[in-house]
């Protein structure tokens, strides 16, 4: 019953907790740049814990070990014309070393997110080993499950600070029958306005991004639905559409090249253009504003907060400003208590998210 990798992992974490040796949890290492700098006395490699445990296309449920390459999972899904609907970034080129554990731990979703949902929305269950070296299972392999607190979703985006993810079950969805990308030449304010307007209509939107005076909108679905939507929306078809969204998701567009700090502002989608003096790329139908350059962290964080969100110093050579928006005192209090509950010795990915 007990998986030998997981048993060994439990022993290793127990020993580390006793010796107070911190652990840096690592999948494929494609998101080492994300969050505060990874540190730890030892590196806990998860790549060897790989493989699809169960996949039943008719159940729309997929269970995989954390070290499984994202590309392997996507290939298996594509063979059944299904997908991970939250569009996880691969980063670091092709083939990407990104693993499922990293996908969930980072909690990052791609351009489809506003219309399909985020990583956490498709997590049905997780198996973890907590900082006490206990193997725990939360959620399950069924679509609806309200037994116990939703600890499995809590793991999405927790950056491995509460537990080492060993296995994840996802809800998956059929791939859309067809997709078309439309392009509109508009300024940023109009692009944000249009994207929000359309999102309130029964249109099959699956992505909306703006850069350099062009709003691109992707439609996904049955051909008649797409044809009907095109008739209402106008615009020109962008033949390079499919490749554009992948390049946006994996940050291979020209906007993302070079070493200047990259800021990610996650804000209410209807927020008018922020800090218009800086060049930016808008994704998530207005919900994400990417900015480049040596910018004033405090000013960006204030602007993001006023817009209902938060600012992340996504990638930068110097993250002294802190990767993530500081938390309100009451929220921070809960974070510290949760961290102490799951990882009392404070050995899992210390400092990767905040100062714990």
Partner 1 sequence: MAARAMESFDDARAATADSRARVLARLRAVRPPLAIVADEEGLRPFETDAFIAHRETPMLAVLPEDEAQARDVVNACRELGVPVVTRGAGTGISGGAIPRSDGVLLVMTRMKAILAIDAHARLAWVEPGVRNVRVSEAAAPAGLFYAPDPSSQSVCSIGGNVAENSGGVHCLKYGLTTHNLLAVRALDADGDAIDAGGLALDAPGFDLLALLTGSEGNLGVITRIAVRLVPLPESTQTLLAAFPSVRQAAQAVGEIIGAGIVPAALEMMDRVVIEACERFMKLGFPLGAEALLLAEVDGCTAEALDASDAVRAILERCGATEVRVAADAAERERLWRSRKGAFTALATILPDFYTIDGTIPRRCLPDILDRVYALAAEYGLMVGNVFHAGDGNIHPCIFYDANKPGDLERGEELGGRILEACVEVGGTITGEHGVGIEKLRQMCVQFSSAEIEAFHAVKAAFDPAGILNPGKAVPTLRRCTEWRGMRVEAGRIPRADIPRF
**Please, which of residues 111-170 interact with partner 1 by CB under 8 A?**
113-114, 117-118, 120-121, 130, 134-138, 140-151, 153-154, 156-158, 162
**Residue 342, interface with partner 1 (CB under 8 A)?**
yes
Which residues, in sequence order, are bridge partners of residue 208? 217
Q: Interface residues for partner 1 in 37-56 (CB under 8 A)? A: 56
For the record, the structure tokens of 236 come out as 């020109």
Beta carbon of residue 117, minimum distance to partner 1 (angstroms, whole number): 6
Q: What does the chain come to in residues?
A: 356
**Residue closer to partner 1 (CB basis): 35 or 261:** 35
Q: Interface residues for partner 1 in 292-321 (CB under 8 A)? A: 304, 307-310, 312
Beta carbon of residue 163, minimum distance to partner 1 (angstroms, whole number): 9
Beta carbon of residue 240, minimum distance to partner 1 (angstroms, whole number): 26
Handedness of CA 344, 345, 347, 353 (dihedral sign): positive
**Residue 58, interface with partner 1 (CB under 8 A)?**
yes
> Which part of the chain contacts partner 1 (CB under 8 A), choosing from 57-65, 68-76, 233-241, 253-261?
57-65
Distance of CA 163 to the CA centre of its chain: 18
**Residue 200, interface with partner 1 (CB under 8 A)?**
yes
**Residue 327, interface with partner 1 (CB under 8 A)?**
yes
**Residue 287, interface with partner 1 (CB under 8 A)?**
yes
Buried b (16+ CB within 10 A) or exposed e, 172-201: bbeebeebbbbbbebebeebbbbbbebbee
Q: Interface residues for partner 1 in 62-81 (CB under 8 A)? A: 81
Handedness of CA 5, 76, 114, 92 (dihedral sign): positive
**Residue 243, interface with partner 1 (CB under 8 A)?**
no
For the record, the structure tokens of 185 come out as 């030449």
How many helices (H) and strands (E) are present in the chain, helices listed first?
11, 17
Which residues, in sequence order, are bridge partners of residue 64? 52, 168
């Amino acid at each position: 019953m007990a998986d030998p990798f997981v048993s060994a992992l439990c022993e290793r974490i127990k020993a580390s907790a006793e010796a107070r040796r911190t652990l840096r949890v690592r999948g494929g290492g494609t998101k080492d740049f994300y969050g505060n700098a990874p540190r730890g006395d030892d590196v806990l490699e998860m790549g060897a814990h790989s493989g699809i445990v169960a996949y039943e296309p008719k159940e729309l449920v997929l269970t995989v070990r954390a070290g499984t390459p994202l590309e392997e999972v996507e290939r298996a899904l594509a063979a059944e014309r299904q997908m991970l609907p939250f569009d996880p970034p691969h980063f670091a080129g092709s083939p990407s070393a990104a693993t499922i554990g990293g996908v969930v731990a980072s909690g990052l979703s791609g351009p489809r997110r506003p219309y399909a949902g985020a990583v956490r929305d498709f997590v049905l269950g997780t198996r973890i080993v907590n900082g006490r070296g206990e193997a725990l299972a939360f959620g399950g392999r069924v679509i609806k499950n309200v037994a116990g607190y939703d600890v499995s979703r809590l793991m999405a985006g927790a950056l491995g600070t509460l537990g080492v993810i060993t296995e994840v079950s996802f809800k998956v969805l059929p791939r859309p029958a067809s997709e078309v990308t439309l392009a509109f030449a508009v300024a940023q304010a109009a692009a944000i306005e249009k994207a929000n307007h359309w999102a309130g209509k029964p249109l099959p939107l699956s992505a909306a991004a703006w850069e350099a005076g062009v709003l691109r909108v992707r439609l996904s679905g049955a051909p008649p639905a797409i044809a009907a939507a095109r008739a209402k929306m106008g615009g020109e078809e962008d033949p390079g559409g499919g490749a554009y969204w992948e390049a946006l998701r994996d940050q291979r567009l020209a906007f993302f090249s070079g070493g200047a700090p990259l800021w990610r502002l996650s804000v209410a989608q209807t927020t008018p253009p922020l800090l218009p003096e800086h060049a930016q790329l808008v994704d998530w139908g207005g919900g994400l504003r990417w900015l480049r350059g040596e910018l004033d962290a405090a000013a960006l964080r204030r602007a993001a907060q006023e817009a209902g969100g938060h600012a992340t110093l996504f990638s930068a050579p110097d993250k002294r400003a802190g990767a993530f928006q500081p938390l309100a005192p009451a929220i921070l209090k809960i974070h510290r208590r949760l961290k102490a509950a799951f990882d009392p010795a404070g050995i899992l990915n210390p400092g990767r998210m905040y100062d714990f």
